[in-house]
């Protein structure tokens, strides 16, 4: 099977030479705006989970909203095995992935751009140039497949998920202490049963300068934990510029999500980030997201009381009606949106 056959049909076109009419569109359009400017590169702060400093963790969350996690306790052998299986499964033919990756797993590709800057693009460039698999960890045991590749894949996902749940809980408990949140404020603000893994594949190709892997956004989670490969491409926004997160083998990247920003009364900021594609190499990443318990009400001096379900429904409504996510601004006290 050729590599192209593993891609969704729209991506096979994107990997071809740029059609003249598309080249003209890209040359004459400013739809990417300032977001297409070259990124600088900086070493993001490092947090050591083995020797966790509450003071340093608090400073990093307030000033950066993103950090590199070391000594996280995940065996290197598990990381390499999971990365190997992610590449193997996502390299199956497009039709095979659609047939094999069934409930509770789900295969997706080309999610719509959710920011106003993407609205002017047309056709295949009006989607995020990615494909992936959603893995709800609490339902993963229900997944049965006769394909031995998927059996092993599930095994490594389950083991990895247990580690990520431990890491997220440890970090969140430390953050709660830092923020001096009372029991009622912190109770049910992070629920391990909501955790899910999403694996991504970002195709390479000749249109990497025009097609975004993932346009700028903030995560709706409490915490997001990313294991990126060595290709790189993850960028975040700080001090009015886009900054590249250099890939370092064996480390994880943790970023604050919208729910934690609200829980913290805006002391911790949900970091805006995006992913660039690469002309020469595919990029793979394995991401973990965790949320408040279902029905848990987030109470804050900055926001109206709301649940994650309220937030999710508002995001879906805005995405459908406006074409992009408004996010926390919808729930600000006395906000004019």
d(CA 285, CA 224): 12
Domain that holds residue 60: 3-13+38-293
Out of 154, 198, 274, 283, the active site residue is 283
* pLDDT of 79 over the 80 cut: yes
Model confidence over 33-50: pLDDT tens digits? 344 454 677 789 999 999
Residue whose C-alpha is closest to residue 294's, from 205, 192, 214: 192
Determine, yes or no, domain membership for 139.
yes
Determine, yes or no, domain membership for 327.
no
d(CA 34, CA 32): 6
Give one DSSP letter per residue of 16-64, joined into a string: SPPPHHHHHHHHH--TTGGGGSPPEEE---EEESTT--HHHHHHHHHHT
pTM comes to 0.89
CATH code assigned at 211: 2.60.120.330
* pLDDT of 199 over the 50 cut: yes
* pLDDT of 166 over the 60 cut: yes
Long-range contacts of 266-271 (CB under 8 A, 24+ apart): 266/300, 266/302, 267/61, 267/62, 267/179, 268/61, 268/62, 268/65, 268/175, 268/179, 269/62, 269/65, 270/65, 270/218, 270/219, 270/327, 270/328, 271/64, 271/65, 271/66, 271/218, 271/236, 271/237, 271/238
Residue found by looking up tokens 């300032």 in the block: 34
Token code pair at residue 336: 């004019």
Determine, yes or no, domain membership for 300.
no
Model confidence over 243-284: pLDDT tens digits? 999 999 999 999 999 999 999 999 999 999 999 988 889 999
Determine, yes or no, domain membership for 221.
yes
Instruction: Provide the number of structural domains found in the chain.
Output: 1
Output the pLDDT for position 220. 97
Determine, yes or no, domain membership for 27.
no
Q: Could you tell me the pLDDT band of residue 127, with boundaries at 50, 70 and 90?
A: confident
- pLDDT above 90 as % of the chain: 67
Confirm whether 283 is a catalytic residue.
yes
Determine, yes or no, domain membership for 142.
yes
Determine, yes or no, domain membership for 330.
no
Averaged pLDDT score across all residues of the chain: 86
Output the pLDDT for position 336. 58
**CA dihedral sign of residues 220, 240, 200, 287:** negative
d(CA 309, CA 292): 10
Q: Could you tell me the pLDDT band of residue 124, with boundaries at 50, 70 and 90?
A: low
Residue whose C-alpha is closest to residue 87's, from 176, 203, 250: 203
Determine, yes or no, domain membership for 154.
yes
d(CA 288, CA 137): 10
């Amino acid at each position: 099977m050729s590599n192209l056959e593993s891609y969704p049909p729209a991506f096979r076109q994107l990997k071809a030479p740029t059609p003249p009419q598309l080249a003209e569109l890209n040359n004459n359009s400013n739809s990417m705006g300032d977001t297409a400017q070259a990124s600088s590169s900086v070493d993001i702060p490092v947090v050591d989970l083995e020797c966790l400093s509450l003071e340093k963790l608090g400073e990093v969350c307030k000033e950066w909203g993103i950090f590199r996690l070391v000594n996280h306790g995940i065996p290197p052998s598990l990381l390499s095995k999971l990365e190997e299986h992610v590449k193997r499964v996502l390299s199956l033919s497009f039709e095979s992935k659609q047939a094999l990756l069934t409930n509770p797993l789900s295969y997706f590709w080309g999610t719509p751009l959710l920011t106003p800057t993407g609205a002017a693009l047309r056709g295949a460039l009006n989607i995020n140039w990615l494909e992936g698999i959603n893995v709800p960890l609490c339902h993963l045991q229900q997944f049965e497949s006769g394909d031995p590749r998927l059996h092993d894949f599930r095994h490594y996902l389950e083991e990895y998920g247990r580690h990520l749940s431990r890491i997220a809980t440890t970090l969140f408990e430390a953050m709660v202490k830092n923020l001096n949140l009372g029991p009622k404020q912190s109770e049910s603000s992070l629920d391990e049963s909501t955790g899910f893994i999403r694996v991504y594949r970002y195709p390479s190709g000749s249109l990497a300068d025009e097609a975004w892997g993932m346009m700028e956004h903030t995560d709706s989670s409490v915490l997001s934990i990313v294991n990126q490969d060595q290709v790189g491409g993850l960028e975040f926004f700080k001090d009015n510029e886009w900054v590249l997160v250099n890939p370092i083998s064996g480390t994880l990247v943790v970023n604050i999500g919208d729910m934690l920003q609200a829980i913290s009364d805006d002391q911790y900021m949900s970091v805006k980030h995006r992913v660039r594609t690469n002309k020469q190499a595919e990029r793979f990443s394995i991401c973990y997201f965790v949320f408040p318990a279902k029905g848990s009400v987030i109470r804050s001096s900055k926001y109206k009381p709301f649940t994650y379900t309220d937030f999710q429904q508002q995001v879906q409504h805005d995405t459908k009606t406006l074409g992009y996510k408004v996010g926390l601004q919808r729930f600000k006290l006395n906000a004019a949106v």
